[in-house]
Amino acid sequence: MDHAIVARSLTKRYGRVAAVDDVSFEIAPGEIVGFLGPNGAGKTTTLRMLAGLIRPTSGAGTVLGRGVPGPTLRDVGTMIEEPSFYPYMTGRDNLRHAALLHGGVAPQRIDEVLAFVKMEAASAKRVRAYSQGMRQRLALARSLLWRPRVLLLDEPSNGLDPVGIAEIRENLRAVAREGVTVLVSSHILAEIEKLVDRILAIEKGRLVFDGPLSRLLARAESLTLRYVLRATDPAALESAARALGLETERSADVVTVEVAAERADDLVSDLVAAGVRVTEAQRDQDDLEDAYLRLVQVDARPA
C-alpha cells in the first residue's frame, strides 16, 4: 500500500450544483495534511465521501488501499460536522456505546482516550451539560477509541479556547508520531500552519492547491495585510500613515491601513517614530485568510 488516502476525480453534485468537482489527491501513511478552504468550499463533502457517509456522483476514494464504503472503514476514525451524542448519557457511557457498536475495543481504552483529551473529570457528566469545546474533545476521544490508522477530522478545534486548540494540536502530533494518517480540515490557515507540512486547498468545489506549506509561506511576502489602528490623536495617526505611503481609511477614532507583509513588523515602530502614540494595533485576520486564498488560486496546481 503506497498511499493511505486516495481521491480520484471525486465529484459530488446536488442537481446542477457541484459541491465537489473532480478532486484528486494522494496522502502517504503517517502524513498530517491540512485541508484548507472557506466555509462551503467542499471540505466536509469531500471528507464525507472518503468516510463512506455519502457516495460520489463520479470518481472514487480509497482508504488504506480499499474502496469506500467498505470494511477498511473499521480502521478509520472520523470527526465530521457537529459531533452527535446521546445527551441523556454521560460522556463515558457515550464512549462505551461507541466501543460496543464498533467491537474489539478493550474497556481500559476508554480511560486512555479520556485522559488523552483531558476529559476524565467531565466524563461522569451528561453530555447535555457539555460546552461545545467539551463535545469536540469527546468527539476526538471517540474517533481514537479503536486505534485507527486514518483520521478524518472536520474543524476539530471549533468551540475551543486557545489553550484547547493548542492541546488538540499536540494530540494530533502525538497520534501522527504513531504512524496514523491525519487529514484535518479548517477554514483558518493560521491554525493549520502550526500543525501540518502539506496543504490541500479547495474553493468552490475545486482543488486549487496541493503542495508544501512552505510554498505558501514563501509567497507571503507579496501579500498586503490590513491593520486596524487607534491612537490618542487619530488625525495625526492618519497623516503619519499616509506619509509612510500607506493606503488608509478613517472612521471616527479608528484608522485602517494596508501594509505589505514584509513591512508589517515595523508598522507600529514607524508610526511611533513619526510622533504618533499608538494605543491599539490589530491585524484583520479575515483579510489574511482571504489573501492566502487569493494566493493559492494564483499558485494553482503544483507542477
The whole-number pLDDT of residue 281 equals 85
**Do 39 and 136 sit in the same domain of this protein?**
yes
Q: Where are the alpha helices (DSSP H) in 27-119?
A: 43-50, 91-102, 107-116
DSSP-based three-state secondary structure for 185? strand
Query: Taking a C-beta distance cutoff of 8 angstroms, is the pair 271, 278 a contact?
Result: yes
**Do 173 and 197 sit in the same domain of this protein?**
yes
Residue 74 sits in a domain whose CATH number is: 3.40.50.300
The whole-number pLDDT of residue 253 equals 84
Last residue of a domain, one of 189, 218, 247: 218
Instruction: Domain of residue 271: give its range.
Output: 221-299
**Do 21 and 36 sit in the same domain of this protein?**
yes
The whole-number pLDDT of residue 300 equals 47
The whole-number pLDDT of residue 290 equals 62
Q: Minimal CA–CA distance to 149: which of 245, 243, 64?
A: 64
Last residue of a domain, one of 180, 196, 218: 218
Query: Taking a C-beta distance cutoff of 8 angstroms, is the pair 201, 208 a contact?
Result: yes
In this predicted model, what pLDDT tens digit does every residue of 178-203 receive, in sequence order? 999 999 998 777 778 888 989 998 98
Q: Minimal CA–CA distance to 5: which of 78, 104, 99, 58?
A: 78
Q: Which residues pair with 278 in a beta bridge?
A: 231
Q: Minimal CA–CA distance to 26: which of 63, 72, 53, 76?
A: 63
Last residue of a domain, one of 203, 218, 233: 218
Residue 248 sits in a domain whose CATH number is: 3.30.70.980
Element (H, E) at 16: none
**Do 70 and 134 sit in the same domain of this protein?**
yes
Pick out the chain residues at pLDDT < 70: 1, 217-223, 285-303
**Do 139 and 108 sit in the same domain of this protein?**
yes
**Do 99 and 148 sit in the same domain of this protein?**
yes
The whole-number pLDDT of residue 264 equals 77
Any idea which residue has 474497556 for its cell? 107
Tally the residues of the chain: 303
**Do 147 and 285 sit in the same domain of this protein?**
no
**Do 196 and 110 sit in the same domain of this protein?**
yes
